[in-house]
Copies of this chain bind each other. A is one copy, B any other.
């Protein structure tokens, strides 16, 4: 017998027929002798409608009231799913976040889960009841409704799995797992059976939006084994048909040869900024990035050239494309201090990344990347590396070519 938390997203519970389908999946897990708790999102479209109403009434809104309105979407789904399970003869009840409670901080609209009380729920699960819990929400210290921000339901599910010490957290979604690259671009992309938290984090933040980054961090910190799988396939989570996200040790313990590189990710949401002829003096980087941090703009890749004339240098970095205009505005304001010649902005770029925990212990991974891109005549504009990732910035039109060439070079192509 295993204790499993299952999570179903908005598409999986998009109408009453799909909710009944979800109930059948849960029933099958229960019939295998498992203890199951479910976390669900709002029916697809519901949250957007609620957010739109709030925007119509108050463009600049009080987040506490926003949360009261938006949290209703999941409340509808938990009641309907509990009813659908009862209809199949499975004992079930819904738990609102204030009933458990799921305690969060007071950051309305983007709260963080602090604690989930599960004593009563665990007791009813032991007696064969399936608890249904709303994702994406909680209870603030002052006793009001909070929401966790978009995509927060994954985080709710992982947090519940951690609190219940569940054997597994199955995230049912509309894809059947994590792939070596985006199958829409790379024909030969393969589903990965197992991936480490670190790799998943890099993939999530690199643009493979299967799991919320926060939920992966939480899973890593609490060693929650997470499976990503499709709610539209026949297979059950217990058949392990999806991708397991686990500790590196767990993969190693299986004695499996771990591929050096697990996947090739890419992102077109970047913009490149070059600030030319900045005074080359101590503190200049802080002078540039301070105003951007103040404006809550994330800077990703950074390159500073060696000073050519001994007194000035060029600094290049990337920001989210959506923040480009604000970033340029911030820098312009600091011009008197920075004394740069020019700000060059370029949105015609893409970031391509090679990810794999194996590169920690293997030399030559970066070299292969550079050779492969050079072999296709692709110019690398910026490079940044971490322990388990090498990212390069290339001109946007080379994205697909670069991703496919790297996918082949690292022997990730499906053989059939």
Q: Which residue of B lies closest to A87 (CB)?
A: B58
Interface of A is mostly: helix
For window 76-112 of A, CB contacts with B under 8 Å fall at 76, 78-80, 82-84, 86-87, 93-94, 96, 98-99
For window 51-92 of A, CB contacts with B under 8 Å fall at 53-54, 56-58, 61-62, 64-69, 71-72, 75-76, 78-80, 82-84, 86-87
Least CB distance from A70 to B in Å reads: 8
Q: Is A244 an interface residue (CB 8 A)?
A: no
Residues of chain B with a CB closer than 8 A to A75's CB: 68-69, 71-72, 75
Tell me which of B53, B68, B79 contacts A96 (CB under 8 A): B68
Q: Is A145 an interface residue (CB 8 A)?
A: yes
Q: Is A408 an interface residue (CB 8 A)?
A: no
Q: Is A16 an interface residue (CB 8 A)?
A: yes
Q: Which residue of B lies closest to A58 (CB)?
A: B83
Q: Is the CB of B54 within 8 A of A79?
A: yes
Tell me which of B65, B84, B94, B99 contacts A86 (CB under 8 A): B65
Q: Is the CB of A84 within 8 A of B72?
A: no
Q: Is A50 an interface residue (CB 8 A)?
A: yes
Least CB distance from A57 to B in Å reads: 5
Least CB distance from A72 to B in Å reads: 4
Tell me which of B53, B67, B144 contacts A80 (CB under 8 A): B53
Q: Is the CB of B53 within 8 A of A76?
A: yes
Bound CA span A318–B3, Å: 58
Interface band, chain A? 35 or more
Least CB distance from A217 to B in Å reads: 30
Q: Is the CB of A65 within 8 A of B93?
A: yes
Q: Which residue of B lies closest to A59 (CB)?
A: B87
Q: Is the CB of A83 within 8 A of B54?
A: yes
| A83 and B57 contact, Cβ closer than 8 Å, known pairs A69-B76, A76-B50 | yes
Q: Is the CB of A80 within 8 A of B86?
A: no
Residues of chain B with a CB closer than 8 A to A71's CB: 75
Residues of chain B with a CB closer than 8 A to A84's CB: 57-58
Q: Which residue of B lies closest to A17 (CB)?
A: B56
Q: Is A245 an interface residue (CB 8 A)?
A: no
Interface string of A34-59 (1 = CB under 8 A from B): 00000000000000001001101110
Bound CA span A68–B80, Å: 9
Bound CA span A323–B72, Å: 36
Q: Which of A67, A79, A93 is the most central at the interface, judged by chain B CB atoms within 10 Å of its CB? A: A79
Interface string of A290-324 (1 = CB under 8 A from B): 00000000000000000000000000000000000
Bound CA span A144–B72, Å: 15
Least CB distance from A332 to B in Å reads: 34
Q: Given A69-B79, A69-B80, 18 other A-B contacts at CB below 8 A?
A: A16-B53, A16-B56, A19-B57, A20-B57, A53-B76, A53-B80, A54-B79, A54-B80, A54-B83, A57-B83, A61-B83, A61-B86, A62-B83, A65-B82, A65-B93, A67-B79, A72-B76, A75-B75
17 A-B residue pairings within 8 Å (CB atoms): A16-B53, A16-B56, A54-B79, A54-B80, A57-B80, A57-B87, A58-B83, A58-B86, A61-B86, A65-B94, A68-B75, A68-B82, A68-B96, A69-B75, A72-B75, A96-B145, A98-B98
